Amino acid sequence: MNVVIQTRMCVEQEDGGICQNLPGSYNCSCAKGYKGDGFQNGTRCASKSSNDLKSAIIGSVSSFVGVSMVASGLFWWWSISRLKNARKKNFEQNGGEELEKLLVSMGGKQSFKLFSERELEIASKNYSIKIGKGGFATVYKGVLQDGTPIAIKKAESISNKEFNNEIVILSHISHRNIVRLLGCCLQTKSPLVVYEFVPNGTVFEHLHSKEKELSWETRWQIAMETAEAMTYMHDQASHGIFHRDIKSSNILLDNTFTPKVADFGISRLRPSDDEHLSTMHSCGTPGYVDPEFNNTNQFTDRSDVFSFGVVLVELLTGLTPLVSTEGSPRYLYDRFLSAINGNCLTNILDHKVMKEENQGQMENMARLAQECLQKEAKSRPSMREVVEKLYWIRVATKQPRPVEHTSDLYQTALNYHTLPSTSDNAKEHYYSVASCSTNNSDCPTTTFFQIEMSDKHAR
């Protein structure tokens, strides 16, 4: 009886326990290979190999964790160093130092910001909001930490020369109708350009989308203010600029339908008077390109005027620059010139906006477009003259048909007391002459715009 009780007090034999009977008592111990006191209510018996394995495992895990932490730290340091070196290398390869020297030597503004790669990734949510795509670049929307919306132009491939050219060009521009440069990022493989965000799409989208529509008044405003921007580029910027890719998809619209000329990737500074801008590379977009340039490879300000003429035709007709005639593609400007020369202009004008009260304006603008599309560049007006004539078209709103005589223009100016609003930048660059009367022999040689501005100053 005592033996049974004593056996129960010791760890079972199969678990490594040993029970030793003593006179009137007992003793518990652990077999070889076990450790403990052998008592059920004591430390029992535990296999030394199991504990050694546990200890080995714990030791191994601890060592692994320690090594992993050290390795992770080293990898993090290596990654950061590698990223910094890559960004530094990209900055150098993207011509960062050359760009800085160019801006200083050309007198460009230094107010734009050099954004970090991480800053633009956060702003654009890793470039998840695409708002536009061209032949060589994609544009993404972003929002900076201060809430400023931005547009990020991410080129698929771009040369240092082309990138530096766009930055230098835009550094010389400050006009309400030209998209504003905010900065750039040189830490990426291909540099990124950051612009103000213009929220209302392009003129192309509004003209050629069934869901959108532009009134005649808005179309005139777009033509007028785009012409002002181009006049500024050609004549008033610190260095004259040829855009070389004027088209409706490069004219952005804000929420008030104010146009902003964009995309200066292939623009060039205007050469001096005794030089010509010659290039063997194609300029612009099919349907907008000056045919004379294709023959001479010499780009002038009148080449931009031709492209603007195509935009005028788009605004007048609502048709795309490449139209299909009997299954074959044809340039819109060819079809337009055929219509106007064949006295069937009204057949091609956009009947959605052509009304009795603005038909005269549309026909006058069509004749201006015809001048811009002249085959010989020297026969085309300058952009300054285009602006003057666009003013006249709006002022002559009461004239149902084109007006041919200066005396009629002068009378129209006297009867019309409010010029449509336009940017102050452009107004500063137009001059006025002393008021004259129709009896003055000098009046017939004075442009309508000069007469109207003189009349305004006199009042």
- Catalytic (active-site) positions: 245
The number of beta carbons lying within 10 Å of the beta carbon of residue 160 is 15
Report the candidate in 307, 318, 366, 339 with the shortest Cα–Cα distance to residue 215: 318
**What is the rounded CA–CA span in Å between residue 413 and residue 440?**
16
Contact 226, 145 (CB under 8 A): no
Compute CA distances 53 → 47, 48, 50, 56, 161, whole Å.
Answer: 10, 9, 5, 5, 67
Structure tokens at 442: 């000098």
Q: What is the DSSP letter of 11?
A: P
Query: At a CB cut-off of 8 Å and minimum separation 6, what does 332 contact?
Result: 287, 310, 313, 314, 317, 319, 320, 321, 322, 323
Pick left, alpha or beta for residue 309 (phi over 0 → left; psi -120 to 50 → alpha; otherwise beta): alpha
Q: What is the SS3 assignment for 61?
A: helix
Hey, which residues does 22 pair with through a beta bridge? Answer: 25
Compute CA distances 342 → 149, 328, 345, 346, 371, whole Å.
Answer: 49, 21, 8, 11, 16
Q: What is the DSSP letter of 439?
A: T
Hey, which residues does 29 pair with through a beta bridge? Answer: 18
